[in-house]
C-alpha cells in the first residue's frame, strides 16, 4: 500500500509537470483551472482505490472471522477425539486445528498491516481534498484580481485615453466630450450670428427699395 501511494504521488507530479511545461498556455487562471481539474481527477481515482482497499480489508476480516470460527470448532472436536481415543480422528482434528490456527495468524497480521496502511492513505487522501479546497480558494483570489485588473484597464481607457490607444477618434473621456460639446456650441452660435447679420442686411435692402419707390412717386 505504501508503494501504491508513491505511484499515485509520482503519477500526479508527472502529469502536472507535463502540463506546466506546455508553453502555449501562459494564462495563470487557465493553468490553475487545469491544475484543479487534474487534481480532482487524481483525487477521485485515489478515493476509488481507497474504497476498494476498504472492501478488501472487510473481506480479510470476514475470512479471519470464518477461520477463527473453524479453529474453535476443530479445537472442540480435538478435545472430543482425545476423549474418544480414536487416533485417526485425533490426527485429523489436530491437523485441521493447526492449519486454521496458522491461517488465523497470517490473516491477523495482514489485517493489522492493511489497517495501518489504510489509515495512512485516508489521512493523505484528506490532505489531497484540503489541497484542492485551498487551490479553489486561490482560484477565486486570482479571478478577483483578474477582474480588478480588467476593470481598472477599462476605466483607464475611458478616463485616460492618452495612455491607451484610441479607436477611430472616439470620445474616451468626459473632458473630451465636454470640449466637443463646447465646440459644437460655438459653431452653432457662429452660424446663428451669421444668419442674423444676413437677415438684417436683407431688411435694409427691403427698406431701401421701399424708400426709393416712395421717392420716385
Q: Do residue 153 and residue 185 come from a single domain? A: no
Do both 98 and 59 map to the same domain? yes
Q: Are residues 187 and 126 in the same domain?
A: no
Q: Is residue 180 part of a domain?
A: yes
Is residue 29 domain-resident? yes
How many domains are contained in the chain? 2
* Residue 142 dihedral angles phi and psi, to the nearest 5°: -65, -40
CA atoms of 125 and 53, how far apart (whole Å): 13
CA–CA separation, 127 vs 133, rounded Å? 10
Residue 38 falls inside a structural domain: yes
* pLDDT tens profile 74-88: 999 999 999 988 999
Instruction: Let me know whether 87 and 145 are in one domain.
Output: yes
What SS3 class is residue 167?
Answer: coil
Residues 70 and 153 in one domain: yes
If pLDDT is split at 50, 70 and 90, which confidence band does 168 have? Answer: very low
CATH classification of the domain holding 108: 1.10.287
Q: Domain containing 51: what range?
A: 2-163
168 is a domain residue: no
Establish if 91 belongs to a structural domain. yes
Residue 119 within any structural domain of the chain: yes
The predicted model scores a pTM of 0.54
**Residue finishing a domain among 138, 163, 188:** 163
CA angle 48, 54, 55 (to 5 degrees): 90
What tens digit of pLDDT does each residue of 111-131 get? 999 999 999 999 999 999 998
Q: Answer whether residue 123 is part of any domain.
A: yes
Q: List pLDDT tens digits, range 17-60.
A: 555 455 445 577 787 788 888 888 988 998 999 999 999 999 99
Helix (H) / strand (E) element for 155: namely: helix 87-159
Query: Does residue 113 belong to any structural domain of this protein?
Result: yes
| Contact in structure between 36 and 63 (CB atoms under 8 Å) | no
151 and 124 assigned to the same domain = yes
Amino acid at each position: 500500500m505504501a508503494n501504491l501511494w508513491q505511484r499515485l504521488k509520482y503519477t500526479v507530479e508527472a502529469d502536472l509537470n507535463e502540463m506546466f511545461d506546455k508553453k502555449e498556455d501562459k494564462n495563470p487562471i487557465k493553468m490553475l483551472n487545469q491544475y484543479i481539474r487534474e487534481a480532482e481527477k487524481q483525487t477521485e481515482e485515489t478515493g476509488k482505490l481507497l474504497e476498494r482497499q476498504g472492501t478488501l480489508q472487510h473481506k480479510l476480516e470476514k475470512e479471519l472471522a470464518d477461520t477463527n470460527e473453524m479453529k474453535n470448532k476443530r479445537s472442540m472436536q480435538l478435545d472430543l477425539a482425545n476423549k474418544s481415543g480414536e487416533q485417526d480422528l485425533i490426527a485429523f482434528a489436530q491437523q485441521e486445528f493447526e492449519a486454521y490456527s496458522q491461517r488465523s495468524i497470517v490473516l491477523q497480521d495482514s489485517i493489522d498491516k492493511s489497517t495501518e496502511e489504510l489509515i495512512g492513505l485516508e489521512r493523505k487522501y484528506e490532505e489531497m481534498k484540503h489541497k484542492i479546497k485551498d487551490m479553489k480558494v486561490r482560484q477565486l483570489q486570482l479571478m478577483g484580481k483578474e477582474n480588478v485588473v480588467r476593470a481598472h484597464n477599462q476605466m483607464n481607457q475611458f478616463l485616460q485615453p492618452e495612455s491607451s490607444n484610441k479607436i477611430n477618434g472616439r470620445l474616451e473621456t468626459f473632458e473630451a466630450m465636454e470640449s466637443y460639446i463646447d465646440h459644437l456650441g460655438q459653431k452653432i452660435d457662429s452660424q446663428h450670428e451669421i444668419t442674423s447679420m444676413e437677415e438684417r442686411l436683407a431688411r435694409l435692402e427691403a427698406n431701401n427699395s421701399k424708400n426709393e419707390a416712395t421717392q420716385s412717386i
